[in-house]
Amino acid sequence: MPKSNLLKSPALKYTIIALATLGLLYLAFRGQDIGKALSDIGDARWVPLLGGACIMFLSHGVRALRWQIVLRPLKRRTSLWLAFKATIAGYAMNNLIPRSGELVRPYMMARGEKIPMAGTLASVVVERVADVIGLSALIIFSLVSYQSRVTSIFPSYTVSGLIILLTILLFIMLLFFSERRTKQLVSILTKPFPPKIGAKIETMALDFSLGLRGLDRSAILPLIIGTIGIWFLYGISMFVSLQAFPDPAMSQLTLKDAFLLLTLSGIAFTIPTPGGTGTYHLLIKSGLMIFGVPPAIALAYAVATHALSYISITLIGLIFLVGEGLSFGSARKMKQDDDLHPSTLIPHPSPENG
C-alpha cells in the first residue's frame, strides 16, 4: 500500500486510537490498588450515582433543544424527541467508534426531518464552537480559582495565555460571519499549504461560515443560554455523583470543586478515545487527588461514573439507532467513508460520559 494511502487507512487510525486508549488506561491504573478501588465502588451509594446519570441525560435534552434552535434556518419546527434520539445515538457511536457520532447525529436528523445534510452538518459545527467557547470559559474559571492545582496537572496553562487564545477564537468567529472576510482569512492562513489542501480548508471554512451566517439573530441568545445550561447541568451531575462515596475528603468537595472536575472532563473528551476512555479516568483521578482524595477512591469515582454513563448511553443510543432504521454496520460505513473524505467537523469537548 502506498505511504499516502497507508496514512489514510482507517485500520491504522483505529489501531493508533486503541493503543493510545490502552496507554492512558495504564497510566490511570498504574500503581493503584485496584482491589481497593473495586471495593469502594461496591460500597458506593447508588442513588447519587443514578441521580448524576439522570441529570446528565437531562443535559442532553437541553442540548437537543439548543440544536433545534440552531436548525431553525433549515426548518422552523423540528422534533425535539428526534433531536434527543439523534444526540444519544451519536454519543453511543462515539463510544464505539471515535467521532462517528458526529456523522450519525446529523444524518438521523436530516433524514427524519427531510432537511439538507450539508446544513445539518454546519449546525453541528456551530454547536461545537459554542461548546469550545464554553469549555474555554470553564478553563479560565478553573485557572483563576485553582491556578496552583490546575498547573500541577497542566504546567503549560496560564490564565493570560488562555484569555489570548479565547480572544483570538472570538475574533476569528466574527470574521466567519462574512463570506468575503472568510475567504480573505483562509487565503492568508493557507499560503504555506499545497493548493489541494488549501482548497479543502477553504471549503470547510466556507461551510462553517454558512452555518454561522444561517443563524437567526433571535437564536443567538438561546444558543448562549442553552450552552450555559448544558455545562451547568454537567457540573451538577458530577457534584451529585460525588455524594456516592462516603469518604471525608469527598464529602468536603463543593459544587465549585465539581466544576474543576468538569473542566478536566471536558479536556478529556477533546481527545479522540472511545467515549473518553482512558483520558477521563486519568484526568478525573488526578483532579480528585489534588483535593486530597485517596487514590483508590478517586479511581473508583472515575471508573463508576464513566462506566455507568458509557453503558447506559451506548445501550439506549443503539436502541434509538435501530429504531430509526439504521444499523451499527451502516453507521460504521458512514464513518469509514468520512475517513477517506473528511467532513467539516471539529473535536467535541463535551463530557457526555462524565
pLDDT value at residue 332: 57
Q: Is the pLDDT of residue 334 over 60?
A: no
Whether the predicted pLDDT of 211 surpasses 80: no
Decide which of 327 and 116 is more confident: 116
Residue 241: pLDDT over 60: yes
Comparing 314 with 132, the larger pLDDT belongs to: 314
Q: What is the C-alpha to C-alpha distance for residues 240 and 312, in angstroms, rounded to an integer?
A: 17
User: Grid cell 455524594 — which residue?
Assistant: 243
Confidence (pLDDT) at 209: 64
Residues 6+ apart with CB under 8 A from 79: 112, 113
- Cell readout for 93 is 457511536
- 182 pLDDT band, cuts 50/70/90, is low
- Indicate the pLDDT class of residue 341, thresholds 50, 70 and 90: very low
Q: Cα 221 to chain center, whole Å? A: 22
- Global pTM exceeds 0.85: no
Kindly report the backbone phi and psi dihedral angles of residue 76, in degrees, each rounded to the nearest multiple of 5, phi listed first. Answer: -60, -45
Report yes or no: 66 and 222 within 8 Å, Cβ to Cβ: yes
In degrees rounded to 5, what are phi and psi of residue 234?
-60, -45
**CA–CA dist 277, 174 (Å, integer):** 35
